[in-house]
Amino acid sequence: MTVAIRQIGPCFAGEVAGVDMRRPLEPDQVAAIHAGMDKYAVLVFHDQNIDDAQQLAFTRSLGEIEQAIGTSLRAASEYRLPTTFADVSNLDQHDKPFARDDRRRLFGIGNRLWHSDSSFKIVPAKYSLLHAVGLPSKGGNTEFADMRAAYDALDEDTKREVEGLVCEHSQMFSRQQIGFTDFTDQERQRFRPVRQSLVRTHPVTGRKSLYLSSHAGSIVGWPIPEARAFLRDLVEHATQRQFVHAHQWRLGDLVMWDNRQTMHRARPFPAEEARDMRRTTLAGDGPTAAQAAA
C-alpha cells in the first residue's frame, strides 16, 4: 500500500492513509512514515483495530522501544500493561477507573499540562504512539503544539536569549504546578531532575524547536522565579492557537508525535468513565545536554 499524508493542522499534523498496522510494514512505508514525521511532526492513523502485540510490532518497525519503568506511581504489581507500554489510561489492573482521589489518577492529571514525553529522562523520547482502545462519552481530546513554528515566531532578542540555555526537568516540577507535592523520599530520588537543552535542532531537517515541557522547573544559572516566569511566557507563546492542533479521538485511532518537535496535553473527561489509552514510545538517540556531576 502506498502511504499518503494530508495536512490537517495549522502548520503541522498529517492524516495518513495506506497503512494497516495488522501487517508488517514494507521498507518504503517505513521511509514514508519517517519522512512524514520529519515534515508534519504529528501523524494520525484512523481505524487501526490492532491488539497490543500489533502495536508493539508496528512501533518496533520504526525504531527501538523506550521502556516505561518507574515513571508513574503504579507499583510493579499494579501494572495493567507490560513495561513496553506506558499506561496512559485511568484504569487499575482490573480495568476499573481509579477513584477520583486516587493518587495514581492525580499524578496522571499532570498529562493535562503541556509537555513532551520523558523530558524528565536523560535520554528523552523520540516518538510516542498512542492508541485509543476505550473512550469516554465526552472530552478527552489530545492537543498538540508545533514547537518549530513557535521557535520561528520568536523575536530575534528572544532567539538569542534562549540559545544555549539548559533547563532542569523532573516529574516533580510538573506535579508541583497542580499542587501535587507529597512525594516520598524514594519518589524524590526516582524523579530527580535531569538537564535538557532549551533549543533543539532536528537531525534531518535542521529546523530548530523550543524544547519546552511542564517538567522543566529551572534554567541552569538562573534564579528559580525568573526561570519559571520565563518558561511560562515561552509556553504561553508556543501554545497560541495558530500553533495548535486538537485531536478528537475515535476508537482505533493511533496518533504518533515527535517529542523533539512538539508538546501535547490531555483534556479532561468525566472521572468515572474509562479512557483506555495505550502508548508505545520510541527511544531517543542521546542526551540533549551534559548532566550535572552526581
| Contact flag: residue 280 with ligand OGA (CB under 6 A) | no
**How far from the centroid of its chain's Cα atoms is residue 194's Cα?**
17
Distances in Å between the Cα of 212 and the Cα atoms of 36, 81, 86, 119, 234 are: 22, 28, 21, 9, 8
| Contact flag: residue 66 with ligand OGA (CB under 6 A) | no
C-alpha cell at 293: 556531576
Query: Among 33, 56, 149, 266, which residue sits at the site for ligand OGA (rule: CB under 6 A)?
Result: 266
DSSP 195-253: EEESEEE-TTT--EEE---TTEEEETTS-HHHHHHHHHHHHHHHTSGGGEEEEPP-TT-
Nearer to ligand OGA, 243 or 257 (CB): 257
| Contact flag: residue 117 with ligand OGA (CB under 6 A) | yes
- Which x/- pattern, by CB under 6 A, does the window 137-166 give for ligand OGA? -----x------------------------
Least gap, CB of 111 to Mn ion (angstroms): 5
Dihedral sign (CA 163, 167, 169, 174): negative
Nearer to Mn ion, 87 or 168 (CB): 87
| Contact flag: residue 279 with ligand OGA (CB under 6 A) | yes
| Contact flag: residue 116 with ligand OGA (CB under 6 A) | no
- Residue ranges that bind ligand OGA, judged by CB under 6 A: 88, 111, 117, 128, 130, 142, 264, 266, 277, 279
